[in-house]
A and B are shown apart, each in its own frame.
Chain A
Amino acid sequence: MTTAATRKPRPKYLNLTALLFEIRLPLPGWVSILHRVSGALLFFPGTLWLLYLLDRSLTSQQGYDHVREYLAMWPSKVAVTAFIWFFCHHFFAGIRYLALDLHKGIDKVSATRSGIAVLVAGALTTLWLGSKVW
């Protein structure tokens, strides 16, 4: 027989402590929220920044050199690496969602497995492309 003391206290309120320390987001949940966050950041400031770089680099040889110098600074390299990661994660997570939309891999085991694959693929492509930046 379960007593009130052994039972989990209900209802469970979603305060900040609960969100930060008590509730564990399952792995596909992390893939999902990262897809959302990366998408938002690619919209702003990502696209704005990319357009600025494209504009400057295509204007003239000086503009191109200027962009190269700018991108050679370490804070820019950090930003480029972050951009690459956001893009790659969004890319692979997006492909996973296309598969899920087609009802491929929707059971719990496959979904967790494909979630891991997305995180690993995003990290590996970021390492690969990031190594060309640094």
Chain B
Amino acid sequence: MVSRIVVGAHYGLRDWLAQRITAVIMAIYAVILLVVLLTGYPLSFQVWRDLFTAGWMRVATLLFGVSLGWHMWVGVRDILMDYVKPAGLRLALQVAVILAIAGYLGWLVQILWR
């Protein structure tokens, strides 16, 4: 029987599955981006900006960003659960991680829709 603590996991399939689904989404994006960049290689500013201002690329990159944020949250939380035992410190670090991920996403949206 697991002891349920407030700074622990959700003890179910959700996080585990979410981490894997987001991984697959990011892997597909990464491969597509690599192919696009290699076909446009060597890059110029024009090619670079046209790529990231294209409608499909903005949405795809946002989906990548959201997947990354979710994936990182599960992963870093697992690391914190393994190595940081005091509940207060773990909670503080978890809050810091959530704020960092939220900040990353806000920044990404700002970069994509300028």
Contact = CB atoms under 8 A, between A and B. Distances in A.
Interface of A: 36, 39-40, 42-44, 47-48, 51, 54-55, 57-59, 61, 64-65, 87, 91, 94-95, 98, 101, 132
B20 A58 contact: no
Interface residues of B, number: 23
A43 B24 contact: no
A43 B75 contact: yes
Contacts of A94: 23, 27
Nearest to A36: B79
Interface stretch (B1-9, B84-92, B104-112): B104-112
B20 A64 contact: no
B76 interface: yes
A55 B107 contact: yes
A57 B49 CA distance: 8
Contact of A51 (B49, B111, B114): B111
B79 A40 contact: yes
Contact of B104 (A40, A51, A91): A51
Interface string B24-65: 100100100000000001000100110010000000000000
A44 B75 contact: no
A36 B78 CA distance: 10
B107 A43 contact: no
A34 B72 CA distance: 16
A98 B21 CA distance: 10
B100 interface: yes
A32 to B, nearest CB: 12
A55 B111 contact: yes
Given A64-B48, A94-B23, A58 B30 contact: no
Contacts of A59: 114
Closest 7 CB pairs of A and B: A64-B45, A43-B72, A39-B75, A61-B45, A55-B111, A51-B107, A94-B23
A57 B114 CA distance: 13
A98 to B, nearest CB: 6
A83 B57 CA distance: 22
Contacts of A98: 20, 23-24
Contact of A58 (B41, B97, B111): B111
